[in-house]
């Protein structure tokens, strides 16, 4: 766990990833002096003291690369049920069906005044995988052979809402025109999490049919801190990098998670931006009560639109 924490924390400090909906930097000239603002979402600025609001709905297509562990009882025996969710986001698109389903709904709201601001960013993720195999072997820790058949349905849900303040650390212009520059922003606060998993189905153990099921859920609020960089690549294009880390086992035992994003944004209309990004959500946690364990990544492209007011 310490190694994973060091790797994730290093990623945040050295190359923080940012979402497509994140802010963008623009260098403005007023009375011959250069000042910096961050766009498109709720600009943070050294000089602009007016209120700014932005709303970003976006679609996230996450490909799972995770292992979910949920023990259950069947025929008087204890099984360490492990479900592996492994599929690239391109596989998610090509394999969507009644037996394989991954959905996500997301959104972000930001407000700011001057160098200070606040944000709320949340998503809901649902994954369902059904397997039907003949002559298979169910990978259980007690090495029970499934000699005839296996039917299993795993349903996984995860919700997350990040919230807290933002602060503009500073910005650096790369040219006099203000078309190129970079801004640095620190943010943090809380992360509300909800995780649920259920397993149900049937197996043939030595030619004897046995049904089984198990479910568990947990919810908690944990601290979170992150860093965002915004790169101005011209009058209409921006690149954004953002990353944060939360948990550290302070609230939920044995829990560390991170949220990383990289994006490019195009202003195709006044105060309206098309955002294309790639997001990666890492989760390593164990619930001591239900023994529900989630370990791995959900990652894939995002497509969003930012409306700034």
Encoding tokens for residue 94? 């090509």
CA distance 175 to 181: 7
What is the sign of the dihedral through the CA atoms of 293, 258, 224 and 276? negative
Bridging pattern class, strands 63-69 and 51-60: unpaired
CA distance 73 to 81: 9
Task: Specify the pLDDT at position 164.
Answer: 96
Task: Specify the pLDDT at position 175.
Answer: 84
Task: Specify the pLDDT at position 13.
Answer: 38
pLDDT in tens, 60-97: 988 888 887 766 665 555 566 666 777 788 887 887 77
What is the sign of the dihedral through the CA atoms of 30, 33, 38 and 42? negative
- Tell me if the pTM is above 0.85: no
Question: What is the total count of domains within the chain?
Answer: 1
Task: Specify the pLDDT at position 190.
Answer: 92
Query: Phi/psi of residue 287, each to 5°?
Result: -95, 120
Residue 239 CB coordination number (10 Å): 17
Task: Specify the pLDDT at position 279.
Answer: 92
What are the helix (H) ranges across 20-110?
A: 89-94
Domain region containing 129? 2-308
Judged by phi (left if over 0) then psi (alpha if -120 to 50, else beta), residue 65 lies in beta
297: domain CATH number is 2.40.128
The residue ranges of the chain whose pLDDT is under 70 are: 1-43, 45-48, 70-83, 132-150, 203-213, 250-254, 287-292
H or E element at residue 248: none
Task: Specify the pLDDT at position 275.
Answer: 94
Task: Specify the pLDDT at position 7.
Answer: 40
């Amino acid at each position: 766990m310490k190694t994973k924490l060091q790797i994730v924390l290093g990623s945040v400090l050295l190359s923080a990833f940012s979402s497509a909906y994140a802010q963008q930097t623009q260098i403005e000239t007023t009375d011959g002096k250069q000042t910096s603002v961050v766009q498109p979402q709720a600009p943070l600025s050294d000089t602009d003291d007016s209120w700014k609001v932005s709303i970003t709905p976006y679609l996230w297509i996450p490909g799972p690369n995770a292992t979910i562990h949920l023990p259950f009882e069947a025929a008087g025996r204890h099984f360490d049920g492990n479900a592996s969710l492994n599929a690239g986001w391109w596989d998610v698109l090509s394999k969507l069906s009644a037996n394989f389903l991954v959905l996500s709904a997301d959104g972000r709201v930001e407000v700011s005044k001057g160098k200070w601001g606040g944000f709320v960013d949340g998503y809901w993720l649902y994954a369902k995988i059904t397997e039907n195999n003949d002559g298979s072997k169910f990978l259980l820790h007690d090495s029970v052979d499934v000699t005839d058949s296996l039917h299993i349905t795993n349903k996984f849900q995860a919700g997350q809402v990040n919230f807290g303040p933002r602060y503009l650390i500073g910005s650096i212009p790369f040219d006099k025109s203000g078309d190129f520059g970079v801004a640095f922003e620190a943010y943090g606060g809380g992360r509300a999490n909800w995780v649920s998993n259920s397993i149900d189905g049937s197996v043939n153990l030595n030619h004897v049919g046995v049904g089984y099921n198990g479910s568990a859920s947990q919810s908690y609020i944990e601290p979170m801190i992150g860093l965002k960089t915004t790169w101005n690549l011209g009058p209409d294009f921006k690149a954004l990098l953002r990353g944060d880390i939360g948990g550290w086992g302070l609230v939920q035992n044995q829990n560390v998670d991170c949220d990383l994003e990289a994006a490019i944004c195009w202003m195709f209309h006044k105060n309206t931006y098309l955002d294309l990004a790639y997001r990666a959500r890492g989760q390593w946690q164990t619930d001591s009560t239900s023994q529900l364990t989630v370990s791995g990544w959900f990652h894939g492209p995002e497509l969003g639109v930012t409306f700034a007011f």
